[in-house]
Amino acid sequence: MRKSFFFIVIISFLLSTSTSAQKKKIRFQSVNQFAIVGGESHVNTAFQTVNGIKFSDCFFGIGVGIDYYKYRTLPLFFDGRWYFGEDKRGFIYGDIGYDFPTKNKPGKEIGYYSSCHFTGGVYSDFGIGYQVPLYKKCSLSFSLGYSSKDLKIKVGSAYQCLVAPCPVDFTTYEFSFNRMILKAALVF
């Protein structure tokens, strides 16, 4: 709930600052990111591409990626950025969306099982970064943020019996992976 509130506050702030801008150019922008994701359990990688429109000192887009942290997932999210500073190189960003699980097997924390079903959950990412111009409308950006992804796993364990069908006991595990995320991106 706090993440959603924080994201709504950022979007409201971005919209209020963008309405005060006078006749600024609107252009397409693509942000292609490589990320190192580290949390309580381990460090892994993620890749994302975000495409949208930039006007004045704001950017709004839709992103998709692949996240290898603990369980491989495909986040689909909305991205908002506000560029600040005299040269508009610093920025804050916020992402909110849904995390789709791919075909995974449970980790070592789940022992014996006869069936397994993954369900996705909320994906969020908030942080701050800096953008360095390379050539004309192409730049390199670096950012540091806090990211979270939620997953549920429904695991079935079949009891041994003499006559089929044998009864199955289901257990649901809920995971919330909170981690730091360091990104390097090519922006054009």
54-76: pLDDT as tens digits: 998 999 999 999 999 988 999 99
pTM of the model: 0.81
Please determine, for residue 23, whether its predicted confidence score (pLDDT) is greater than 60: no
Residue scoring higher pLDDT (165 or 148): 148
Per-residue pLDDT band for 21 (boundaries 50, 70, 90) equals very low
Residue 14 lies in a domain: no
Residue 99 lies in a domain: yes
Please determine, for residue 188, whether its predicted confidence score (pLDDT) is greater than 60: yes
**In this predicted structure, what is the pLDDT of residue 92?**
97
Please determine, for residue 9, whether its predicted confidence score (pLDDT) is greater than 80: no
**In this predicted structure, what is the pLDDT of residue 173?**
85
**Which residue range forms the structural domain that includes residue 75?**
2-7+25-104+122-148+177-187
Residue 169 lies in a domain: no
**CB burial readout 147-156, b (16+ within 10 A) else e:** bbbbbebebe
Stretch among 78-87, 101-110, 134-143, 166-175 having the lowest mean pLDDT: 101-110
Helices first, then strands: H and E counts in the chain:
1, 9
Report the CATH number at residue 141.
2.40.160.20
Going from the C-alpha of 185 to that of each of 16, 33, 36, 61, 146, the distances in angstroms are 27, 4, 12, 15, 16
**In this predicted structure, what is the pLDDT of residue 100?**
96
